[in-house]
Amino acid sequence: MSALWSLGIVEQLDHMGLGSLYYLQYSLVLVVLSGGLVIAMYHVLINRFKLEYFKRVTAVGYSCVVFGWMTILSAKQPSTKLNLFGLLSLPISFAPFESLIFTSIIVPQASFLGHLSGIIVGYGIAWGLIGGMNNFWAISMLGWIGVVFVISLKKSGACDFEFLEIESVTDPSLPSVRFLGNGRVLQMGSIPVAGVELV
C-alpha cells in the first residue's frame, strides 16, 4: 500500500501524458492483461513443464498493478524516487526489479510470477506496445469484467442470481444459455450453405 500511495504521482503528471484518466484506463488494462499473463504462465508451467506445485498456488490482489505502475513510471520519469514501505527510498528506474526481489525475500508466499507479469505488461504499456486506450474501451472492458464476474459467481454457487441459469449443454457442438425471465433458450448452430451437402 505504501508503494501504491507513492505512485499517486501518476495522477499529477498531466503534462507528460499521464494523469487521472490515464491512470484509471491503464489500471484496467494492467488488471486484465497481467492477470491473463500470470494465468498463461501457470498454465505453461503446469502443462508443459509438469510442475504440479503451481496447481496449488493462488495469485490474488492488486500488487501486479502496482508493479506495472512502478514500471511505467520508471520508463516515463526515471529521475523519480519511490518510497517503499516507508523504509526505503529507491530510484524509480530500478524499483520494479528491486521491489520484486525485496518482496520475494520478505514475503515468500507472494506470487513472484504475478508481480513479474505486472512488470512485463507495464513495460508493454510504457514502450507503447499496448496503447489506444480511451473511455470507450475502458467502459467496455469494465462491462466485460462485470459480466465475467457475475457468471463466475453464478457458476461457483457463491451467489444465486434467479434471472440467470447456466446449464450444461446436451450437444457439445452447440453452446446454450438460458434466461429464465422469458424462458427462451439461445442456441447457435451451423446454417447449411446452398449446394453443399452436410454429412
Q: Is 63 a catalytic residue?
A: yes
How far apart CA 28 and CA 22 sit, in angstroms, is 10
List the catalytic residue out of 74, 111, 115, 117: 115
Cα dihedral angle (23, 9, 126, 128), rounded to 10 degrees? 50
Count the alpha carbons within 13 Å of 150 in the hemisphere toward its beta carbon: 11
Return the number of other C-beta atoms located less than 10 Å from residue 155's C-beta. Answer: 9
Contact 113, 163 (CB under 8 A): no
- Helices within 127-185 (DSSP H only): 135-156
The phi, psi pair for 195, rounded to 5°, reads 85, -5
List the catalytic residue out of 63, 74, 111, 117: 63
Q: Is 89 a catalytic residue?
A: no
Rg of the Cα trace of the chain?
Answer: 22
Residue with cell 506496445: 129
With CA atoms as reference, report the closest residue to 113 among 28, 26, 54.
54
Active-site positions read: 63, 115
